[in-house]
Amino acid sequence: MLRYFLTRLAGAIPTLFVIVTLAFFLIRAAPGGPFDQEQTLPPEIMANLQSAYGLDQPIWTQYGRYLGALAHGDFGPSFKYKDFSVTELIGQGFPVTLELGSIAMALALILGVPIGTFAALHHNSAADYATMSLAVIGIAIPTFVVLPFLGLLFGIYVHWLPVAGWEPGSIRHLVLPVVALALPPLSVIARLTRANMLEVLRSHFVRTATAKGLPLHTVILRHAMRPALLPVASYLAPAVASIMTGSLVVESIAGLPGIGRYMVQGALNRDYTLVMGMVIIYSTLLILMGLVVDLLYAWLDPRVRLER
Amino acid sequence: MAPILSIDDLTVSFSQPNRSIFAVRQVSLAVAARECVAIVGESGSGKTQVFMAAMGLLARNAAAAGSVRFEGGEILGASPPRLNGIRGSKLTMIFQDPMTSLTPHLKIGTQLAEVLVCHAGVSWSEARLAARRMLERVRVPEPERRLSQYPHELSGGLRQRVMIGMSLLCRPQLVIADEPTTALDVTVQAQIMDLLRAMREEVGMALVLISHDLGVVAGLADRILVMYAGRIVESADSAELFRHARHPYTAALLNCIPSLSGPRLERLPTLPGQPPRPEDILDGCAFAPRCPRAAERCRMERPLLGNENGGASRVACHFPLPP
Amino acid sequence: MNSLVVDAARRLRSNPGAVCAMFVTAGLVALALFGPAFNPNGSETLDWLHVASQPALQSAHWFGTDRLGRDLFARTLEGTRVSLAVGVVASAVSLSVGISYGAVAGYVGGRTDHAMMRIIEILSGLPLIFFVIFLTVIFGRSESLLFLSIGAVGWLTMARIVRGQTLSIRRREFIEAAVASGAGTGRIIVKHVIPNIIGPVIVYATLTVPQIIMFESFLSFLGLGIQEPHASLGTLIAEGAGEMEAAPWILLVPGGFLAVLLLALNIFGDGLRDALDVKER
- The answer to whether the beta carbons of residues C98 and C162 sit under 8 Å apart is yes
Cβ distance A248 to C139 less than 8 Å, yes or no, reads no
Share of chain C above pLDDT 70, in %: 78
C258 chain-A contacts, CB cut-off 8 A: 141-142, 145
pLDDT for the residue numbered B242 = 87
pLDDT for the residue numbered C234 = 87
User: In terms of CA atoms, which chain C residue is nearest residue A36?
Assistant: C138
Angle at CA of residue B247, ends B244 and B250, nearest 5°: 75
A303 chain-B contacts, CB cut-off 8 A: 104, 150, 152
Distance CA C32, CA C43 (A): 12
Distance CA B236, CA B245 (A): 9
B93 chain-A contacts, CB cut-off 8 A: 211
For residues B203-215, average pLDDT:
91
Q: Does B235 touch chain A (CB under 8 A)?
A: no
Q: Does B54 touch chain A (CB under 8 A)?
A: no
B101 chain-A contacts, CB cut-off 8 A: 204-205, 207-208
Out of A213, A215, A223, whose CB is closest to B89? A213
Helices C128-139 & C143-170 angle (0-180, nearest 10):
140
**pLDDT tier at A55, thresholds 50, 70, 90:** low
Cβ distance C244 to A163 less than 8 Å, yes or no, reads yes
Cβ distance B84 to A215 less than 8 Å, yes or no, reads yes
Distance of CA C63 to the CA centre of its chain: 26
Least confident of A153-162, A232-241, A264-273, B41-50: A153-162
For chain A positions 121-140, those within 8 Å of chain B (CB to CB) are: 123
Cβ distance A212 to B114 less than 8 Å, yes or no, reads yes
Q: Which pLDDT tens digit goes with each residue over A178-205?
A: 999 999 999 999 999 999 999 999 999 9
Cβ distance C125 to A286 less than 8 Å, yes or no, reads yes
Give me the residues paired with residue A295 across strands. none
**Does the structure show a pLDDT above 70 at A50?**
no
Q: Is residue A176 classed as helix, strand or coil in its secondary structure? A: helix
pLDDT for the residue numbered A308 = 37
**Does the structure show a pLDDT above 80 at C40?**
no
Q: Does B318 touch chain A (CB under 8 A)?
A: no
- The answer to whether the beta carbons of residues A156 and A143 sit under 8 Å apart is no
Averaged pLDDT of chain C: 77
Residue to mutate among A125, A212, A214, with most B CBs inside 10 A, is A212
Smallest CA-to-CA distance from A192 within A227, A241, A218 is with A227
Distance CA B71, CA B75 (A): 10
B104 chain-A contacts, CB cut-off 8 A: 205, 227, 302-303
pLDDT for the residue numbered C279 = 46
For chain A positions 142-181, those within 8 Å of chain B (CB to CB) are: none
Out of B56, B114, B152, whose CB is closest to A303? B152
For chain A positions 216-275, those within 8 Å of chain B (CB to CB) are: 216, 218, 222-223, 226-227
Helices C233-242 & C198-222 angle (0-180, nearest 10):
30
Question: Which position has the higher pLDDT, C226 or B92?
Answer: B92
What's the whole-model pTM score? 0.84
Shortest distance between the Cα of A281 and any Cα of chain C, in A, equals 10
ipTM of this model?
Answer: 0.89
Question: Which position has the higher pLDDT, A181 or B288?
Answer: A181
Q: Which pLDDT tens digit goes with each residue over C42-99?
A: 667 777 666 767 776 666 677 777 777 778 888 888 888 888 888 888 888 888 888 8
A306 chain-B contacts, CB cut-off 8 A: 150, 153
Buried b (16+ CB within 10 A) or exposed e, B246-263: bbbbbbbbbeeeeeeeee
Shortest distance between the Cα of B88 and any Cα of chain A, in A, equals 4
Cβ distance B88 to A212 less than 8 Å, yes or no, reads yes
Q: Which pLDDT tens digit goes with each residue over A215-225?
A: 999 999 999 99
**Does the structure show a pLDDT above 70 at C192?**
no
What subunits make at least 3 CB pairs under 8 angstroms with A? Answer: B, C
Per the rule left: phi > 0, alpha: psi between -120 and 50, beta: everything else, B291 is beta
pLDDT for the residue numbered C188 = 65
Question: Which position has the higher pLDDT, C222 or A199?
Answer: A199
Distance CA C162, CA C185 (A): 17
**Does the structure show a pLDDT above 60 at C122?**
yes
For residues A279-286, average pLDDT:
82
B105 chain-A contacts, CB cut-off 8 A: 226-227, 300-302
Distance of CA B250 to the CA centre of its chain: 17
Least confident of A172-176, B91-95, C70-74, C125-129: C125-129
Distance CA A307, CA A60 (A): 44
Shortest distance between the Cα of B187 and any Cα of chain A, in A, equals 25
**Does the structure show a pLDDT above 90 at A285?**
no
Out of C126, C241, C262, whose CB is closest to A141? C262
Enumerate domains of chain C plus CATH numbers: 7-35+71-276 (1.10.3720.10)
Cβ distance A213 to B97 less than 8 Å, yes or no, reads no
Out of A19, A26, A145, whose CB is closest to C138? A26
Return the H-helix or E-strand segment holding B14: strand B5-15
- The answer to whether the beta carbons of residues B107 and B188 sit under 8 Å apart is no
Q: Is residue A47 classed as helix, strand or coil in its secondary structure? A: helix
Least confident of A174-188, B78-92, C56-70, C109-123: C56-70
| Largest distance between two CA atoms of chain C | 76
A208 chain-B contacts, CB cut-off 8 A: 95, 101-103, 163
Touching pair B, C by Cβ (3+ pairs < 8 Å): no
